[in-house]
């Protein structure tokens, strides 16, 4: 899976629906990877970020770094219109 921070920061010129679609795809890819190596860390991270953009909700275990990343990207999306 690509570096999630780099992926999200590269997506600033798209609309919210497209972002959700891309994150859904990344979540599915991360899920497959997690199932193959028996770890859920990447899957959980992508799913938490996806939840933020789909429902404007955060999970209690979302890291401060991921929350800051989401807020930053959200501001960029808002500024763009």
**Residues 8-64: pLDDT tens digits?**
777 777 888 988 898 899 888 888 877 766 555 777 888 888 999 999 888 777 888
Q: Quick one: which of 34, 32, 28 has its CA closest to 50?
A: 28
pTM comes to 0.52
**Contact present, 52 and 58 (Cβ < 8 Å):** yes
Give me the number of domains the chain comprises: 1
Which domain covers residue 18, as residue numbers? 4-80
76 pLDDT more than 80: yes
């Amino acid at each position: 899976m690509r570096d999630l921070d780099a992926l999200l920061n590269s997506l600033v010129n798209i609309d919210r629906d497209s972002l959700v679609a891309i994150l859904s795809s990344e979540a599915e890819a991360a899920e497959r990877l997690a199932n193959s190596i028996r770890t859920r860390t990447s899957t959980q991270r992508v799913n938490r970020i996806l939840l933020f953009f789909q429902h404007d909700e955060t999970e209690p275990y979302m890291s401060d770094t991921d929350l800051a990343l989401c807020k930053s990207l959200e501001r960029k999306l808002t500024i763009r219109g």
